[in-house]
């Protein structure tokens, strides 16, 4: 059975909206850490090439495996952005901005 990991509390929490689910997460952690720690299906995006699930790898802004839609803006590096109260986060499914 899935048991969500909750990062150690630093005394303050914020509420974020992850694809319609409200999550209470520690303040001062990155969006990538929040998603990996609280989501059942731990991936942040689907590959543009073959739709495989991708997840953060480097956590320092190099690999771009953590691209997510944050507050309506696609292609945000979730490993470099700290959570904020009320932030709306979605997985990035495919390549945004390319019309089919
Ligand atoms: S995890 Fe590598 S750029 Fe974000």
Domains identified in the chain and CATH numbers: 13-93 (3.10.20.440)
**Residue 31 beta carbon below 6 angstroms from any ligand 1 atom:** no
Residue 97 has pLDDT above 80, yes or no: no
**66 Cα: distance to centroid of ligand 1 (angstroms):** 5
**32 Cα: distance to centroid of ligand 1 (angstroms):** 8
Query: How many Å is the Cα radius of gyration of the chain?
Result: 13
Q: What is the pLDDT of residues 74-86, one digit of tens each?
A: 999 999 999 999 9
Of residues 20 and 94, more confidence is placed in 20
Q: What is the rounded CA–CA span in Å between residue 99 and residue 76?
A: 19
**Residue 45 beta carbon below 6 angstroms from any ligand 1 atom:** no
**12 Cα: distance to centroid of ligand 1 (angstroms):** 25
DSSP code for 85: T
Neighbours of 67 (CB within 10 A): 22
């Amino acid at each position: 059975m899935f048991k969500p990991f909750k990062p150690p509390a630093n005394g303050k929490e914020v509420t974020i909206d992850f694809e319609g689910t409200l999550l209470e997460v520690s303040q001062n952690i990155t969006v990538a850490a929040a998603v990996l720690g609280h989501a059942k299906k731990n991936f942040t995006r689907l590959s543009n090439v073959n739709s495989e699930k991708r997840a953060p790898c480097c956590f320092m802004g190099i690999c771009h495996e953590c691209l997510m839609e944050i507050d309506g803006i696609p292609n945000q590096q979730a490993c470099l952005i700290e959570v904020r109260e009320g932030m709306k986060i979605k997985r990035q499914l495919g390549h945004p901005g390319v019309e089919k």
